Amino acid sequence: MRTILLRPGAEELNYEIRGIVKKARQIEALGQTITWENIGDPIQKNNKIPTWMKEIVSELVSQDHTYGYADSKGVLETRKFLANLNNQKKGVQITADDVLFFNGLGDAIAKLYQFLIPTARIIGPSPAYSTHSSAEAAHANTAPITYKLDPDNQWLPDMEDLYNKVKYNPSIVGILIINPDNPTGMVYPKEVLEDFVRIAREFKLLLIADEIYQNITYNGILAVALSEVVGDLPAISMKGISKEFPWPGSRCGWMEFYNRGASKEFSKYVQTLENAKMIEVCSTILPQLSIPKIMSHPDYAEYRQAENFKIGQRSKLMEELLSGIPGIKFNPTQGAFYNTIVFEEIYLSPNQFLPIENKEIKALMEYWLKEENMPMDKRFVYYLLASTGICVVPVSSFCSDLRGFRVTLLE
């Protein structure tokens, strides 16, 4: 066979949220019960879908038009509905033409970077949801460029770090914000979002906000949307229903384009994304058809509030459990359903963990630990998995130099 050459950035494609699942399955097969705290999938955590939601989907399944192709951009009525939902907020106004559907936000993220030349860089947070950092690195053929989220300052972005990187690196063309954030669970105050806007304005950058957790906030916090602060700057908001309905198996997410006429470059970029969707024909139609029906159902707001309340309670419980533990950095969460715990220092010895009685599991873990250049937090996560069956994700796999782990707050 002729040699298949991969692009240099290809090895940056890494998704430890699922990588750790392979390891967990191996020890599950050896008799260990697994506590899945690695993935933000409410369905996997046994959350129940309300009957009225299932009835909406069943009703759609019974109709012939559900089986056709949609418009390449997505179902028009749904795009109108989403534009209208955005326009109820004070801020930038959009039309159905400014909404573009994808097969899940993961697909949208891949396309976001795919058509930029490798030297056009999007600076993103660190730590970051790894689909973004991996996709950005793969497109650029090199490691991602990041600004720091500071665990010593409630995981807020280090604006000086961002400012300096943008100022001295002219290849940066855009800034990515994840708000509410995965993996930190932080929700950015309005002033912080306004700082992002100021920097984008000064350096003429595209602003991109992944807002998939926009309506998952709790304990008195509400997330300010990018559309409320962006003014007349070109920007993209990325949204989806995987977490909110929750319907992760729908593979349905969308982009909203703000001020697409603001610059020729931006409008060409948006057109390219639309063309890419045309080549694919369209995205999954059933979830798109269901969005207006579910979101305008009389029980929807109450359902979401109740779910958010439960996550908020678990966030408080986590706070109680972790407060006062020496050697860790921890911030109570405000949104999404994750918490990231950082070790101040970490010296690992097997004696710190429960003894692993099962000889096969012990041998398997010793084999895992032979991986070269393994960050300390990954070793910790492997020990934890092998000795207790608790499955979490190392922070180092979220494009970060910090050491610690992310845990879900789902029941």
**Contact positions vs ligand PLP (CB under 6 A):** 40, 104-106, 129, 178, 182, 210, 212, 240, 242, 248, 253
Contact 187, 179 (CB under 8 A): yes
Task: Return the number of the residue (106 or 157) whose C-beta is nearest ligand PLP.
Answer: 106
Q: Looking up tokens 């326009």, which residue turns up?
A: 87
Q: Which two tokens stand for residue 236?
A: 């993209």
Q: By C-beta, is 105 or 273 nearer to ligand PLP?
A: 105
Helices and strands in the chain: count of H runs, count of E runs = 13, 14
- Other residues' Cβ atoms within 10 Å of the Cβ of residue 56: 18
**Residue given tokens 């070269």 in the structure block:** 372
Nearer to ligand PLP, 92 or 212 (CB): 212
Dist CA 378 CA 368 (whole Å): 10
Q: Residue 124: which of 1, 12, 270, 257 has the closest Cα?
A: 12
Alpha-carbon radius of gyration of the chain: 22
Whichever of 26 and 288 has its CB closer to ligand PLP, that residue is 288
CB of 320 to ligand PLP, least distance (A): 25
Residue 254 CA to residue 212 CA, distance in Å, equals 9
Closest separation in Å from C-beta 338 to ligand PLP: 8
Q: Which residue, 112 or 361, has its beta carbon nearer to ligand PLP?
A: 112
Tokens at residue 26, please? 């191996």
Q: How far is the CB of 209 from ligand PLP (least distance, A)?
A: 10
The residue type of 320 is: E
Q: Phi then psi for 223, rounded to 5 degrees?
A: -90, 135
Q: Is 69:288 a contact under the CB 8 Å cutoff?
A: no
Is-contact 91 230, C-beta < 8 A? yes
282 neighbors 69 (Cβ within 8 angstroms): yes
Q: Give the number of other CB atoms < 10 A from CB of residue 147.
A: 25
Least distance from C-beta 346 to ligand PLP, angstroms?
25
Q: Which is nearer to ligand PLP, 40 or 292 (CB)?
A: 40
Residue with Cβ nearer ligand PLP (134 or 182): 182
Rounded to a whole number of angstroms, the minimum distance from the CB of residue 298 to ligand PLP is 26
**Minimal distance, residue 380 CB to ligand PLP, in Å:** 22
Give the integer Cα–Cα distance in Å for 247 and 53: 10
Q: In terms of residues, how long is the chain?
A: 411
Write down the least CB distance from residue 238 to ligand PLP, Å.
7
Closest distance to ligand PLP from the beta carbon of 248 (Å): 5
CB atoms within 10 A of CB 76: 14
DSSP secondary structure, 52-87, as one string: HHHHHHHHHHTSGGGGSPPPTT--HHHHHHHHHHHH
Whether omega for the bond prior to residue 183 falls within 30 degrees of 0, making it cis, is: yes
Instruction: Report in angstroms how near the CB of residue 234 gets to ligand PLP at its nearest.
Output: 21
Q: 39 or 342, CB closer to ligand PLP? A: 39
For residues 246 and 312, which CB has a smaller minimum distance to ligand PLP in the complex? 246
